[in-house]
Structure formats: C-alpha cells, structure tokens
Amino acid sequence: MLKSLFIQNYALIDTLDIRFEPGFSVITGETGAGKSIILGAIGLLLGQRADCKSIKNGMSKCIIEAVFDLSAYGMQEFFERNDLEFDGKECIVRREITASGKSRAFINDTPAPVSQLKELGEMLIDVHSQHQNLLLNKENFQLNVIDILAGDKDELQQYKRLYTAYRQAEKALQQARQAAEQARTEEDYITFQLEQLENAALKTGEQEVLEQEAETLTHAEEIKLALYQAENLLDNEQNGIVNVLKETTHLLDNIGKVYPDGNELASRMESCYIELKDLAGEIAGRTEQVEFNPERLEYVNERLNTIYGLQQKHRVDTLEDLLRIEEEYREKLNAITHSDEHIQALQQQCDQALESMKKQAGRLTSLRQKAASVVERQMKEKLIPLGIPNVQFKVELTPKEVPDETGTDKINFLFSANKNGQLQPISQVASGGEIARVMLSLKAMISGAVKLPTIIFDEIDTGVSGSIAEKMAHIMQEMGALNRQVISITHLPQIAALGSTHYKVYKEDHAEGTSSHIVQLDEKGRVEEIAHMLSGTTLTDAAINNAKELLNQSYRK
C-alpha cells in the first residue's frame, strides 16, 4: 500500500511530502484546491503519458516519488522477472520529467521503461475517477468484472492460446486456398513454360562446353594450319628441330670419351629430343582431329541459340538459373496437383483447432455463468442498503456472433431501480447516483477477489448524499479493513467523518504565485473541516456541533 508520496515542482505544487496510513482515508478540499493535481502526479507513477507542461513555471524538472509497502502482497515474481532489486517489503517508484520533454522512470533506483512502470502500477493502485463510471456501459469492462470474480485467469489464458492457434490455422487454410486458386489460373502457363524447358533438355555445364566447341569449329581451318606448321617446324626431315636435336645429341655423345662433360650435355639434349619428338607426334594427332564440320557447327549454334533465348526470356544469365527455374515450375505444378490434399489437411487442422477452442470457451462460459449468479445476488445485497430497495440486477450472457480473444460470451449488465420495471442495459436507465453506487458495489466485490494494495476513489459519491453517502462510506471502510488501503476524495461530510485518517488539500497565494498543499488533520482540524463542509465558509456553532456528532458517530461505530 502507499506509504508516502513526494512531489516537487509539479503544476501548482512546490514541494509536497505526505505519509499515508492503511485502512480507509479521506481527502477533502475545495474545488480547484489541487486534488486532481495529486491524482495526476500519481498517474505519472502508474505509467501515464508525461507532459513537460505539467512542470511548475520556471522550474527545470519535476519529481514524483512514492514508497509502497508490499510485504503482504506477494509481488516477488514481478521483480525477479524484470531483474529488479526487492527486499520483499518496500518498493520505491520515481518519475522525473524535464522541461525539455524527457522523462525518466525508476523502480527501486533502477531505470525502468514506462511500460514496466505501467505494469507495476496496475498491481499497486486502482484509481477510480468519475469518468470511469462511463466504463459501465462498455462490454469489455463488464466482461472483465465477471472474469475477475470468476477467477478464470488460467482458463482464459488457455483459451487465448487456443484462439490464437485457431486463427493461425484459419489463416494458413485461407492462404492455401488463395494460393491454389491463383495457381490454377496460372497452371496452363506454368505447364507450357516447364515443357519448353524440359524439351530443351538442359544439362549442368553444357553451355560452357558448347561455347568452346563453337569457337573451335568456327576457326577449324585456322587451327589446323597452325598445328600443321608447328608440326613441320618440329619434325621435317631436312631442318626440323627434332632432327637437329638428334644430330646434336650424337655429336656430344661422340666426344664423351675424350670430354667427360659431353656425356652430361648429351644426356640433357636427349631429354629435349625425346620431349619435342613426343610433342611433335601429339601435334600431328591433334591436326588429324581438327576438321571443319559445318553440320556440327550448325547444331552447336542452334543449341546455344536455344539456351540464349531461354535465358533472355526468363531474364537470367546462366544455364544454372534456367535449371533452377525449371525445378521451381516443376514444384509449382506438383503443388497444384496435390493442393486439394494439402487444403484438406489444413482444413482438418483448422477444424481440430476450432473444436479445441470451442471446448475451452465452454469451460469459460460455465465459470462466467457461476460468477454471474454470484454477482446478481451480491449486487442486490449491496444496492438495497444503498437506497435502491427494489433493485433488479441481471448479468446477461449471450453468444457472440464471432468468437474473439475474450471468448464466445457477450456480457450485458441489465438494471432496473423499480420493482416491476423492465430490465434494460444499465447505462440507458441508471441515474448518475445509481451508477456511482453500482460502481462502488462492483469495486467492493472486485477488491475481495484481487489483492490490490491501494484503491483511490475520486468522488465516487457523485449524485448521492445523506444516509446513502454514509452507507457508501461504510462499504469503503469494509474494503479498507481487508488488508488494503482505500482513499476517497470526497465533498460529502458523511463520508469524510468515517475516514480513519483525514487529509485536506488547500491552495495558498503568495508573491511568487499559487501553491497547493496537503496536510493530515488532527482531531480539531477534522472538526473544523467537516463543519466547513456542512455550512460553507462561515463556521457556526451548529456546524461545529454537527461535525462533532458525525465524528462521534463514526467513532462509536
């Protein structure tokens, strides 16, 4: 629960440092004194959007810091999951906003993103402002109330997982159908293209071989002449290099007996002779192999033209790309051929996912129906003492036309304040005061199901007065007695008198401007404040006596 709140340079607040007590507390003050400013500062701690305009004029930044006692609320998991320090007892939340528009958040002095602050804030404080009464006509709010009281969090999470799985299966089925339909319109085109590529009988590496062969056939006569001339230079009978080497070898060999180095030179020369003799023979063989073949050249050129044409048609540069495209067309045709089987398998998966989702939705509906009966009974029990003796309240559950992530149930709170009145949606028939009482009753039930440390009611008593206000205060007292903190911002003396702790917000004018302050009232201060709430600016003996009587009654109770 909220132990203390520190605010500096925020709106009309210079410095505010106040401690809060457990149980039921009240905050009073004239309209415009700064109660909404304090709520705004708390909102920043809960992760609401920061605005540099909220910084007090002339200041460079504002700071809002709160200390919470969490020893009784089992929040260790949040801090461990987010790698935040936590001693198991206190948590310090701070928000800083600079005039340049920058915002920083800290949890136990560790920088934290605003999303993390918001997640923690939802576990720390529930601020019920007047505009929240408008939520009563929102289906999602009504459904959320039933889910909280049904305690179906795990079942709902399981349903959401199954719902997501169903939607994914449904999407996959739809995509497969669209793809199959699109493919069927292209089937003739794909078949034609594949047949053309298959008829070409392309082979890996074929293009390079054909291009080289075309070059050779095109220059066959030129090549043959060059080879013939090379062979003749090497091995003609008169002055061919081979014969000259042979004679040179003999000369060196003959002087080997009288000149020992001649043997070595002769050996080396003989090696050259053997190598060139062999080379001349190989050139002669190549000369015989090379011949001009117009028919073969025509075939090679036609084959290359086929390959080049396909490359140009499919806008690729290599034969390997054509082979890849051919395989892709083959796979597409295969997919078209087996698309019905694929769609049938996906349809089966989708049907199974839908059936699992429906079964889980049925479990949710059952839990919600049980919770709805409890809500109907408890709402009557709470609203009758609050001045609606003939109240009728019904939670209507009807199937949704299309399931969504919350389930298949549509929730509608039906209400009538009259004994024989026709039940209608609560937002259409309930007055402002009746809606306030309904919301307080719902919050009281929710607070019993959720371990929320602090609940702040901002003028929940709008539209009520007298004994009804007193009874609403008693409900808030009971909520505050269940190991939680309830703070009510009120203008009604009947509610103010029942708070175990009383705070007053007031404005003060000075040379530099106007400042808002909050103080905890002592016994005398409470009497005077409640007397002012009864009689206005001028204190009368009657108002003071009435204030004392209200306080004495609250103490006796």
Tell me, yes or no, whether 16 lies in a domain: yes
Q: What CA–CA distance (Å, rounded) separates 16 from 5? A: 8
Residues 203, 96 within the same domain: no
Chain position carrying tokens 């020893």: 71
Token pair of 529 as six digits: 């404040």
Is 80 inside any structural domain? Answer: yes
What are 313's two structure tokens? 């048609």
Q: Give me the half-sphere count of Cα atoms (radius 13 Å) on the Cβ side of residue 549.
A: 7
Q: How buried is 109 (Cβ within 10 angstroms: 0-12 exposed, 13-18 middle, 19+ buried)?
A: exposed
Note whether 135 and 141 are within 8 A (CB): yes
DSSP state of 71: T
CA-to-CA distance for 353 and 349, rounded, in angstroms?
A: 6
pTM over 0.75: no
Q: Are residues 193 and 120 in the same domain?
A: no
Report the C-alpha gap between 62 and 45 in whole angstroms: 12
Q: Do both 209 and 82 map to the same domain?
A: no
Closest alpha carbon to 143 in 412, 333, 544: 412
Number of domains in the chain: 2
Residues 61 and 188 in one domain: no
pLDDT for position 136: 66
CB 493 within 8 A of CB 467: no
Whether residue 199 is found in the same domain as residue 317: yes
φ and ψ at 48, to 5 degrees? Answer: -70, 160
Is there a single domain that holds both residue 189 and residue 123? Answer: no
Q: Same domain for 221 and 321?
A: yes
Q: Which residues contact 490 (CB under 8 A, 6 or more apart)?
A: 26, 27, 28, 457, 459, 460, 461, 496
- Could you tell me the residue range of the domain that residue 225 belongs to? 179-337
| Claim to verify: residue 29 and residue 87 sit in the same structural domain | yes
Instruction: Give the pLDDT confidence of 1-29 residue by residue, as tens digits.
Output: 899 999 999 988 889 999 999 999 999 99
Instruction: Print the SS3 string covering 500-555.
Output: CEEEEEEEEEECCEEEEEEEECCHHHHHHHHHHHHHCCCCCHHHHHHHHHHHHHHH
Same structural domain for residues 185 and 328? yes
Alpha-carbon dihedral 466, 467, 473, 474, rounded to 10 degrees: 170
Assess contact for 201 and 310: CB atoms under 8 A. no
pLDDT of residue 557: 55
Q: Phi-psi bin for 50: left (phi > 0), alpha (psi -120 to 50), beta?
A: beta
How many residues can be counted in the chain?
557
Does residue 195 sit within a domain? yes
- CATH number, domain with residue 14: 3.40.50.300
Beta bridge mates, 501: 25
Boundary residue ending a domain (337, 356, 378): 337
- What is the greatest pairwise CA distance in the chain? 156
Residue 51 lies in a domain: yes
- Residue 417 covered by a domain: no
Where is the domain boundary, 313, 337, 361? 337
Measured in whole angstroms, the distance separating CA 355 from the mean position of its chain's CA atoms is 27
Residue 330 lies in a domain: yes
Task: Please identify every stretch of the chain with a pLDDT value under 70, giving residue numbers as ranges.
Answer: 130-137, 554-557
In a domain, 447, yes or no: no
Measured CA to CA, the distance from residue 238 to residue 244 in angstroms comes to: 9
pLDDT at 222: 86
Whether 40 and 119 map to the same domain: the answer is yes
- Regarding whether 296 and 198 lie in a shared domain, the answer is yes
Distance, in Å, from the CA atom of 2 to the CA atom of 43, rounded to the nearest integer, reads 13
Domain closes at, from 302, 337, 372: 337
Instruction: Look at residue 378 and tell me if it is in a domain.
Output: no
Closest CA to 43 of 133, 103, 110: 103
**What residue type is 175 in one-letter code?**
Q
